[in-house]
Structure 1
Amino acid sequence: MNGKHIEIFLVDGVPGGMTTAEIAGWTGHVLASERSSLGALLRRPEAQRNGAYLFLSDDSDAVAGVRTYIGRTENFARRFPAHAELKSREWDRIVIVTNKDDSFSEGHWGYLESRLVELARLANRCTLTNGNDPQGRRLSEAAQSDMEAFLAQLQIVLPVLGVDVIRSRETAKAADSIESVSPEFTLTDTRRKVDARAQVIDGEFTLLTGSTVIAKWISKGIAEATQRAYAVYREEHERLLADGSIVVENGVGRVARDIRFTSPSRAGAIALGRSCNGRISWTWSGGTYAQWEDRGVDEINEDAHGIAELRLTDRS
């Protein structure tokens, strides 16, 4: 996969403030803002143009802890005052997607809105609050191709801004990069009826749909530090049960959607119901996760060792 030059601009000059993002050579423009900057956002030129938008909010009861609304408008600044439902609802962040040369018609944005909702449902990384599935406008084959190319770039920009609601395995595979998706790792425990599969996808350790894991967290630990850690794991496992990420069938937990973790050890603990050294416990045809993670490092060390020996030989 070719590298991407993404330009991030902090409008307010501070992290966490209003932010714009563009990719070199892409006609798209993304503006992200916290709710506290809504007034300033509505005065921005981006808010006066055709575009699509996403409302995002943290919600512990939502899938993956995120609630999302996706829409489109000819003029967001005029649309928002009439958006009574979203004005009253709790939301934390808004993202507006526009086209710098303003060449897309209402039909183009209707198509994009429909595809964004479709991808969000496919990724299953949020709870969508859209009442109905938007019906994309009929576009010519050429126009659809243009919008799919536009969307491919948007799928790269949004995660850079911390918006992962349309990020999925399919997105990574579409990137056509050997670095995007790792080999498939497995973790099994016959006694606990655990048969889990995972991959590193776009840098995230992902427990895959269809894996079987513990149905209920029972372990408590003996040492005080272990008890605290297990309490955190138990809470996370219960949250995954509550939002439907893990469903219990015949006393076995089944992963109903891809679940992302910050480390293989955390994923392993949730699967097994106990502490786990994920770098060793997760394996693939080439060895352990640790061996896959360190791929290429041995060659570099060997090259460095060879250079050092060569220099010693030259000195002697």
Structure 2
Amino acid sequence: MKAFGKTIRLFLVDGTANGLMTAELSNWTGIGVKVPRIKIKEYSNRSEFQKPGVYILIGKGENNEDAAYIGEAEIIAERLTNHIAQKDFWNEVILFGSKDKYLNKASVKYLENRLYDLALKAGRFVLNQNIPTRSELSEAEQAELEEFLANIKVLTATLGHRIFEDLEETVDRNETQQQIFFCKNGAGAESKGSPSTEGFIVYKDSIFMITEQASLSEGIRIERAQMVHDGILKIEGDLYILTKDYVFTSSSRAACATLARSASGPLEWKTAEGVQLKYYEL
């Protein structure tokens, strides 16, 4: 199905990116709001905070990993006040409500559960919560809320957090860019990946070298060590195995991490037929 363009209107309420920001889509009754934690008290009397909606608390976990809490409330301001007192990890919130009376308790419960599912599937953030229950709604109601959900997903990414976006969605699947590329050597390393809008995705079960060569940069040594610490790289015999899809900022960084040495991604990544990535990027 062809994807159509969207018009998004961002409004900085106090004229800076450090205050409250609203996000709206043309021909949509919903509205998104992003606000720092320290500004919530200042803006909590606004209408967006006094209605039913869903919200995402965003911050860092104990190991500096991206962390989030997804919730719902009939009056968002009251719930956020409780979270300020009880939850310390977050530093900003993105909330979504309706400019009319479209959302109610049942619909926001449904959205909360579905947003949790999407975030869990994407695997980009650690979720600090239990699984939310889902409301029982008619098929028609669910269809309407799935459209509302799709807009929440777009606006959350626009507001700077791809918590709901699966890595596979960042891969260009047009006719010239749907190739899978491989990076390997004679010592057992063999990774599989694809270019993406965020850099380069290396897929689960790819095999990395353990022994690092002197040419490997310090930054990639640190990233690999963090991946081992987080369980993303797991020792299997004399090699590492990748336990989940992982995005590197460039194809060269992905190749270096795989081969544990200095490497050029456009040259090292090749199709099954041996065609180098650089010929697909030109």
Give SS of 1:21's match.
Answer: strand
Give SS of 1:17's match.
Answer: coil
Query: What's 1:189 paired with?
Result: 185
Map 1:212-227 to 2 at 5 A: 212-214=207-209, 216=210, 218-221=212-215
Matched-pair contact (CA < 8 Å) for 2:183–2:191: yes
**How far 1:16 moved relative to its partner?**
4.2
**How far 1:203 moved relative to its partner?**
4.3
Distance (whole Å) between structure 1 residues aligned to residue 152 and residue 266 of structure 2 = 33
Query: What's 1:69 paired with?
Result: 69
Matched-pair contact (CA < 8 Å) for 1:55–1:68: yes
Query: What's 1:114 paired with?
Result: 113
The residue type paired with residue 281 of structure 2 is E
Distance 1:231 1:286, change over 3 A: closer
The residue type paired with residue 59 of structure 2 is S
Map 1:46-85 to 2 at 5 A: 46-59=48-61, 61=63, 65-83=65-83
Map 1:154-233 to 2 at 5 A: 154-169=152-167, 171=169, 178=174, 182-191=178-187, 193-214=188-209, 216=210, 218-221=212-215, 230-233=217-220
Query: What's 1:266 paired with?
Result: 253
Query: What's 1:152 paired with?
Result: 150
Q: CA deviation digits over 1:37-69, x for unaligned, max 9?
A: 22223232211111111111134725xx20111
Structure showing greater radius of gyration is 1
Superposition CA RMSD, Å: 2.4
Distance 1:282 1:38, change over 3 A: same
Does residue 40 (structure 1) correspond to residue 36 (structure 2)? The answer is no
**Which is worse superposed, 110-119 or 10-19?**
10-19
Distance (whole Å) between structure 1 residues aligned to residue 173 and residue 220 of structure 2 = 33
Query: What's 1:5 paired with?
Result: 7
**How far 1:286 moved relative to its partner?**
8.2
Q: CA deviation digits over 1:285-313, x for unaligned, max 9?
A: 5832222122xxxxxxxxxxxxxxxxxxx
**How far 1:137 moved relative to its partner?**
0.4
Distance (whole Å) between structure 2 residues aligned to residue 286 and residue 19 of structure 1 = 48
Structure 1: 5+ residue stretches without partners: 222-228, 295-316
Matched-pair contact (CA < 8 Å) for 1:11–1:18: yes
Q: Which has the higher helix share?
A: 1
Query: What's 1:303 paired with?
Result: none
**How far 1:272 moved relative to its partner?**
1.4
Matched-pair contact (CA < 8 Å) for 2:203–2:242: yes
Distance (whole Å) between structure 2 residues aligned to residue 91 and residue 22 of structure 1 = 24
Distance (whole Å) between structure 2 residues aligned to residue 281 and residue 121 of structure 1 = 32
Matched-pair contact (CA < 8 Å) for 1:59–1:66: yes
Q: How many residue pairs get matched?
A: 279
Matched-pair contact (CA < 8 Å) for 1:42–1:77: yes
Give SS of 1:247's match.
Answer: strand
Distance (whole Å) between structure 2 residues aligned to residue 23 and residue 121 of structure 1 = 25
The residue type paired with residue 256 of structure 1 is T
- Moved beyond 3 Å, runs of 4+: 169-173, 201-204
Q: Structure 1 vs Structure 2: percent identity of aligned residues?
A: 28
**How far 1:169 moved relative to its partner?**
3.8
**How far 1:103 moved relative to its partner?**
0.5
**How far 1:172 moved relative to its partner?**
5.3
The residue type paired with residue 32 of structure 1 is K
Distance (whole Å) between structure 1 residues aligned to residue 148 and residue 197 of structure 2 = 20
Matched-pair contact (CA < 8 Å) for 1:70–1:113: yes
Query: What's 1:293 paired with?
Result: 281
Distance 1:182 1:32, change over 3 A: farther
Matched-pair contact (CA < 8 Å) for 1:213–1:253: yes
Matched-pair contact (CA < 8 Å) for 1:187–1:197: yes
Distance 1:37 1:82, change over 3 A: closer
Distance (whole Å) between structure 2 residues aligned to residue 268 and residue 16 of structure 1 = 37
